[in-house]
Chain A
């Protein structure tokens, strides 16, 4: 599927148009939730638990209420009267809005104070006296099902900390393959608890108008429509009276998919007071209480022959979900798309099982810049392949090459049930090897080892599964995961489009306009894209899991094609010919054989309102709800080169080559920007970030003092490249890309560090690989004193 390139003036697909949204962002003129100021607005502040597990003995809010300017103090008991003390999570569990009975993690929401200004609200929150009785704390997920473990969720019928067991694959065939395999390699790897930490924290302004009975919620939401429906279902507010507006969003990365207690409290407060209520969390509140990511404790075993040809894969995983199972996953997938863990390789059989448990930690398990647990899966298989290569003393690039699914095998059904749409894994590998001068690097490494210097090369050949999804397989809380686009062409040939997705910095205002430009020939600069207002945009499931281009992007193309079909009728009328005599070329309909007779899309748009044929409706608009036939499967090969300082254990990423294949590209510059961002986040996860807990359940990593964000100083230089294998089922062959670099890169970093130390017998190091970990290993191995 090749895309005919438009002129730069039209700016269709493949043009590196500057991002339309950036002019307001770089001038500080964005409009984020905290920029919303409404007349009579008041402020909410959360009172949070200092304990990870404690019985709530009493809450005395009298002193807080007496502080001048305080309007209300809401507790769990108050919410219980309205049946709102608990709310459903996105995954068949419920979560306390405000604690009743007991608290289950440090920083859990206990009371909500509303006051005339933020300062009074903060002061009043300090005056709420809460008496607790401390209970035994469960921090280690491996101890969750031990006989002496405290039962955390006494609200549940099952008196156990075990949430679910999920398995997929052919257990018998996998066992058989393992029994006869001459080579077995295994790795235990932790994809540690981390947090997306978007630049903008979560928050909302809830505005209930008692006169019109209409509730407007300005919300940091990646999925405004789904949130509107959930507010209606849970709060009992008629859905036509709810308007959710997601204004500019300062990064989401999955963190802004769930509904948080602060939103519910602000809504309840506004319903009660009849005034707009703003609640914006602090950085620490964001890190400590909102959706974390990962916390997967995984074991992978590969069965192979002596030549390194893989036969079977066995995966066993323990998932720490914290106090409530608030994972944002499609309904049928308790471990998300983790079963894509066979990766880019041709495994004949595989078996994967996952157990989820509760602990005294913040709830979550969101898809941090990945499609539902795919980062965990990609990290695991790419680590395991390196362990196998090391065991067989094979070059990791050659081991991968030997085992790739071949281009002729697509569509390829994996042993765990996914059907990959298209791929050319060896193509991406070859390009990356060439860009990095692999053979030369290996030679250099050999020489350096002789001199006692530490240098490592890490490879990761990941496959992502994005764009959920086919409605028959994917839904969130029952709502099918289609998505939508509406295009309205104005009489003067300009257009406005609205989508069910919601940009959080991905550049939708530019890329969707480019799709319209490509399909209709209307210059992208003449197309306005609006998202995030549920009163105006068509229904959709929002932006996460790299689904915008595969779903709403596809819907945009389909809606544009509907418009083109109607435009053809109008053109035939204007040119006094039959539709069959017309052909579409560069934004015009021409009469075949008489190209001087033509009508541009702009002329046709004007006629759609001024001179349309009898029997045809006026106007030039279309809407499309696109249900993709399958996921799309972007892929790539990343190669990382590190040098390690023996004295300090410091790791320096000397080079990082990223070859991505996301099919046909809408805007190469935006794709590159997304890859730079994703690699930087992957780098942070590999080397810097961990939300840890001490034995009492105190959060260690609950502020930017301890939870580190890479700046320009730490961030390596990225070298990007691409291959192009279009998706055969997507309307313009695109696959989605925003998450690939975060999915594929952690394994490349870790593989590089392990490779640098492999001659010392090091087989694995858990992330984040801070210098002290490396230094400790070097000390243990006697490399340094």
Chain B
């Protein structure tokens, strides 16, 4: 199931600070619910995992994160992440193109285009629900990002190793369903 998600949002931080954070997979991962980086293979390649809880069972995607392209001058980055569930429940990949734009008053606009592909049990929930789930995940991501950037000491290396709580798609599905109906009613 292929889903394309385009998002843009603003953060009240200067572009160089946002870029420093966003271009480092070890730091950005701290904003993704249930995700962690387990190993840095080289400058562009990392190993990591993400857990999504669906009802009573947890889907654990394990895989690789690769920085395909990084342009600090233009504030553009392209990241590919792909992984398989350790218990063989399916696989997922996401290709994200991110771009920053410096705004007035030291604010920054973040634009991203993500192409998400999910194969397996999770994909059976259908594109409408998965899109909505992705929207919610993205919402949590931006909230986390804003919080982390606003931390007075700035994002630290050690924080990147902190484990984030897995995303609970049980309640997520409910929120997603509400999202679907809200938009159609």
The judgment on whether A and B are partners is yes
Is A700 in contact with B57, judged by CB distance below 8 angstroms? no
Contact with B along A678-717 (1 / 0, CB 8 A): 0000000000000000111111101101100000000000
CB nearest neighbor in A for B86: A129
Point out the residues of chain A lying under 8 angstroms from B2, CB to CB: 694-696
Is A698 in contact with B87, judged by CB distance below 8 angstroms? no
Q: B68-126: which have CB < 8 Å to A?
A: 84-91, 117-121, 123-126
Is B91 in contact with A134, judged by CB distance below 8 angstroms? yes
Q: Does B41 contact A (CB under 8 A)?
A: no
Is B124 in contact with A703, judged by CB distance below 8 angstroms? yes
Is B127 in contact with A126, judged by CB distance below 8 angstroms? no
| Known contacts A698-B1, A698-B120; A132/B127 CB under 8 A | no
Point out the residues of chain B lying under 8 angstroms from A702, CB to CB: 124
Q: Does A131 contact B (CB under 8 A)?
A: yes
Q: Does A169 contact B (CB under 8 A)?
A: no
Complex Cα gap A126–B58 (Å): 10
Point out the residues of chain A lying under 8 angstroms from B85, CB to CB: 50
| Known contacts A700-B124, A700-B126, A702-B124; A126/B87 CB under 8 A | yes
Complex Cα gap A700–B117 (Å): 15
Is B126 in contact with A50, judged by CB distance below 8 angstroms? no
Q: Does A127 contact B (CB under 8 A)?
A: yes
Minimal beta-carbon separation of A135 from chain B (angstroms): 11
Minimal beta-carbon separation of B87 from chain A (angstroms): 6
Q: Does A128 contact B (CB under 8 A)?
A: yes
Contact with B along A143-174 (1 / 0, CB 8 A): 00000000000000000000000000000000
| Known contacts A694-B1, A698-B1; A126/B57 CB under 8 A | yes
Point out the residues of chain A lying under 8 angstroms from B117, CB to CB: 696
Contact with B along A752-766 (1 / 0, CB 8 A): 000000000000000
Q: Does A770 contact B (CB under 8 A)?
A: no
Point out the residues of chain B lying under 8 angstroms from A705, CB to CB: 125-126
| Known contacts A51-B90, A128-B87, A694-B1; A699/B124 CB under 8 A | yes
CB nearest neighbor in A for B84: A132
Q: B136-150: which have CB < 8 Å to A?
A: none
Is B120 in contact with A51, judged by CB distance below 8 angstroms? yes
Point out the residues of chain A lying under 8 angstroms from B84, CB to CB: 132
Is A696 in contact with B123, judged by CB distance below 8 angstroms? yes
Is B123 in contact with A698, judged by CB distance below 8 angstroms? yes
Minimal beta-carbon separation of B9 from chain A (angstroms): 29
Q: Does A441 contact B (CB under 8 A)?
A: no
Point out the residues of chain B lying under 8 angstroms from A699, CB to CB: 124
CB nearest neighbor in A for B117: A696
Is B1 in contact with A130, judged by CB distance below 8 angstroms? no
Complex Cα gap A49–B84 (Å): 13
Minimal beta-carbon separation of A64 from chain B (angstroms): 10
Is B119 in contact with A51, judged by CB distance below 8 angstroms? yes
Give the residue of B57, B88, B118, B123 whose beta carbon is less than 8 angstroms from that of A132: B88
| Known contacts A134-B119, A696-B117, A696-B119; A129/B88 CB under 8 A | yes
Point out the residues of chain A lying under 8 angstroms from B118, CB to CB: 696, 698
Is B121 in contact with A50, judged by CB distance below 8 angstroms? yes
Is B86 in contact with A50, judged by CB distance below 8 angstroms? no
Complex Cα gap A21–B109 (Å): 70
CB nearest neighbor in A for B2: A695
Complex Cα gap A696–B121 (Å): 12
* Interface residue ranges, A against B (CB under 8 Å): 49-52, 106, 126-132, 134, 284, 288, 694-700, 702-703, 705-706
- Told that A127-B87, A134-B119, A697-B119 touch, could you supply 12 new A-B pairs with CB distance under 8 A? A51-B91, A51-B119, A51-B120, A288-B124, A694-B1, A694-B2, A694-B123, A695-B1, A696-B1, A696-B2, A698-B118, A698-B123
Q: Could you show 19 A-B contacts with beta carbons less than 8 Å apart?
A: A50-B85, A50-B120, A51-B90, A126-B57, A126-B87, A131-B88, A132-B84, A132-B88, A134-B119, A694-B1, A694-B123, A695-B2, A698-B119, A698-B124, A702-B124, A703-B124, A705-B125, A705-B126, A706-B126
Q: Which 9 A-B pairs have the closest CB atoms?
A: A50-B120, A130-B88, A50-B90, A698-B123, A696-B119, A694-B1, A702-B124, A50-B89, A50-B121
* Interface residue ranges, B against A (CB under 8 Å): 1-2, 57, 84-91, 117-121, 123-127
